[in-house]
Amino acid sequence: MIYLELLIGFLTVGLFSFGGAYAAIPLIRDVVLSYGWLDDEALANMIAVSESTPGPIMVNLATYVGCSKAGIPGGIIATAAVVLPAFLIILLIMVLLKNALGNRYVKAVIGGLKPCIIGIIGATGFFMILSSCITPLTQESADFRPVLITVILALFYYGSRKFLKNKVSPIMLIVTSAVLGVAVYGI
């Protein structure tokens, strides 16, 4: 039953997304793809929507997937499931395991988790860029538009950081990319 799948899926996400919002994205992608709820393209759209709406990405994504799969009840279940683990764990740590985080063994485990997560997030982002750019290139009439857009966006994002005082915010980047998308594909 979809409700149960949503519950378990997003509990998993909530439980293992150490390192914050972006760490949840590979996990959510895993869960969503393995249950067959969405494909990569639809997921990327949803990530974009979740980044542009108020609230933490992880929660918004959960709400979105839940709602699109099973309406309002689905949304509620998914959202509750994703915030619950963190809530409970923090509660548990505060109440019972005050010294747990100082424990050397716990520190060792966390010391291994962190770089792993960085690698996972990096690979996910890299893969998303690669797959959006390369697949169009391998078609009959090579489509360079994704590459073009990506390069422009990358230059814009990193260039603004180096040369201008103000860093471009994620929302700005998304807005720019939307405009670029319309411009480049509209020709």
Partner 1 sequence: MVLPSFIIIYLISIFLDSFIKITWIANAFKGIRMAVGILILDAAVNMFRKMKKQVIPCVIMGCSFTAMLLISIFAWSFSSVFLMLIAGVVSLVIFVIHGAPSEKGGERK
118-147: which residues touch partner 1 (CB under 8 A)? 118-129, 131-133, 146
Positions in 23-42 near partner 1 (CB under 8 A): 25-27, 30, 34, 41
Could you say whether residue 73 binds partner 1 (CB under 8 A)?
A: no
Could you say whether residue 3 binds partner 1 (CB under 8 A)?
A: no
Could you say whether residue 160 binds partner 1 (CB under 8 A)?
A: no
Q: Based on the number of CB atoms within 10 Å of its own CB, is 172 exposed (0-12), middle (13-18) or buried (19 or more)?
A: middle
Q: Smallest distance from the beta carbon of 96 to partner 1, in angstroms? A: 20
Q: Which of 6, 7, 75, 77 binds partner 1 (CB under 8 A)?
A: 75
Q: Smallest distance from the beta carbon of 98 to partner 1, in angstroms? A: 18
Report d(CA 171, CA 153) in Å as an integer: 13
Q: Smallest distance from the beta carbon of 132 to partner 1, in angstroms? A: 5
Q: Which of 54, 94, 98, 141 binds partner 1 (CB under 8 A)?
A: 54
Which range in 2-10, 84-92, 168-176 contacts partner 1 by CB under 8 A? 168-176
Report d(CA 19, CA 118) in Å as an integer: 9
Q: Smallest distance from the beta carbon of 16 to partner 1, in angstroms? A: 5
Positions in 82-121 near partner 1 (CB under 8 A): 104-105, 107-121
